[in-house]
Amino acid sequence: MTIEQLKSKFIEKFGEGEISGYFSPGRVNLIGEHTDYNGGFVFPCALSFGIYCLVRKTNRKTVRFASMDMPFEAEVKLEDLNKPVGKEWVNYPIGVFAQFMKKGLTFGGGADMLFYGDVPTGAGLSSSAALEVCTAVVINDQFGFGIDKIELAKMGQKAEHEFALVNCGIMDQFASAMGKKDHAIFLNCDTLAYELVPVKLEGIKIVISNTNSPHKLDSGKYNERVAECQAAVKAIQPFKQISALGEISWEDFLKVEDKIENKTVRNRARHVVSEIKRTEDAVKELKAGNLVKFGQLMNDSHDSLRDDYEVTGFELDTMVEEGRKIDGVIGTRMTGGGFGGCTVSLVKDEAVDKFISQVGKNYQEKTGLKPVFYVAEIGDGGKKLF
């Protein structure tokens, strides 16, 4: 859908008048999975698709929410913008409004907001974070609050914790807010120190493969992994004083690994600590132009997520296994929270068509699901369009 078509839809729904437009991207994480809520390193990049919001401020004391993707609409009084509305999608933007209210900020008037997304929902590409960050950028700009983008990312994360009940780390919102075209973000999730690293992939494309097996992060398995990591920290603490798994090196972890009596908890910790090291190593290899080594670390990451963290599943593993059979695939792994969603692969230009046709055919034969492939472009973070 084009911006002009969106404008027409907005006018159809809310009437004539001045309209402003905003965009925040989804993200793909190249490496560093399930490390963010453990205070470790991640390496995501913003995508060229995401969430759009057209908005008009009003003198009413309500905010009207509508979406081109979801049938549910709502009109919420300003004083109620900190209360969930059932289990509807509007809780994501309402959760963001609530964070501004927590800071003692007031809106003075209302707004009409129309959302549209071209990032696939349930694919592990952070459509929810894009929605949260887009809403935060809209509110911040329209009401002139002057909050910096890193704080907006934190507010989006809080909205997800409190209104979607997912104990996510900061990575998704940070990438959506702070992304830069043709760069990935090397982010320390503990300190929020970050570096924008140029992604120079001459002769290579980033291919995202959507398993069309929707991932579910609404509580359950994701929050279970968070709790298991916290249990690992407690088991390590008598031998090394840490408050998060991101604070222990791989070498030190090997010395205390056997002190974690619960095997499942031990495996979860092994994945996290080794993944943090892999992420650091991968960034060094990318900077040095060693893409083959970078790809091998991607492969190792998936295997760890499959064996130690157990968040992949049949569909993701099948997609990765079929991808690894194609000459010209440098590395391939699940990306996002797991339990369905997408894989990310580095594929040589000349192999992209074969990858899409062959992997697509074999995957569908084995799973009964028809996948979708995207040749990704790395885009900018949340911004005003007009």
Catalytic residues: 172
Is residue 110 within 8 A of residue 59, CB to CB? The reply is: yes
Tokens in use for 319?
Answer: 């997609």
User: What SS3 string covers the chain?
Assistant: CCHHHHHHHHHHHHCCCCCEEEEEEEEEECCCCCCHHHCCEECEEEEEEEEEEEEEEECCCEEEEEECCCCCCEEEEHHHCCCCCCCCCCHHHHHHHHHHHHCCCCCCCEEEEEEEECCCCCCCCCHHHHHHHHHHHHHHHHCCCCCCHHHHHHHHHHHHHHHHCCCCCCHHHHHHHHCCCCEEEEEECCCCCEEEEECCCCCEEEEEEECCCCCCCCCHHHHHHHHHHHHHHHHHCCCCCCCCHHHCCHHHHHHHHHHCCCHHHHHHHHHHHHHHHHHHHHHHHHHCCCHHHHHHHHHHHHHHHHHCCCCCCHHHHHHHHHHHCCCCEEEEEEECCCCCCEEEEEEEHHHHHHHHHHHHHHHHHHHCCCCEEEECCECCCCEECC
Nearest Cα to Cα of residue 117 among 208, 73, 48, 52: 52
How many degrees, rounded to 5, is the angle at CA 250 between CA 243 and CA 259?
A: 65
Cα 215 to chain centroid, rounded: 12
Compute the chain's Rg from CA coordinates. Answer: 21
